[in-house]
């Protein structure tokens, strides 16, 4: 199990942006695909307090429920580049 978990929705361009950065930095990560319906996104809501995606957790760095793709990409660059 990887330290980073990405909560995403297939076809989401913001999720793809985060996935691309993770792949570019060669970071191992797990993916959890969230349901299309916001009302059914209980797991991502539990982790981040909201139902939007992408969201990451990073157990190695103590990050729980970071959202907003630009913030995630910046965090990954600062932490893992």
pLDDT of the chain, 81 residues: tens digit per residue: 789 999 999 999 999 999 999 999 999 999 999 999 999 999 999 999 999 999 999 999 999 999 999 999 999 999 999
Instruction: Specify burial of residue 76 (Cβ count, 10 A radius: 0-12, 13-18, 19+).
Output: buried
For 46, the enclosing helix (H) or strand (E) is: helix 42-48
Strands 55-58 and 4-8: antiparallel
Q: What is the pTM of this model?
A: 0.94
């Amino acid at each position: 199990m990887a330290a980073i978990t990405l909560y995403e929705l297939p076809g989401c361009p913001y999720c793809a942006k985060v996935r691309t950065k993770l792949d570019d930095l060669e970071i191992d990560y797990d993916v959890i695909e969230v349901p299309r319906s916001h009302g059914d996104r209980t797991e991502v809501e539990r982790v981040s307090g909201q139902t939007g995606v992408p969201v990451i957790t990073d157990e190695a760095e103590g990050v729980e429920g970071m959202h907003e793709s630009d913030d995630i990409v910046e965090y990954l660059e600062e932490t893992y580049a």
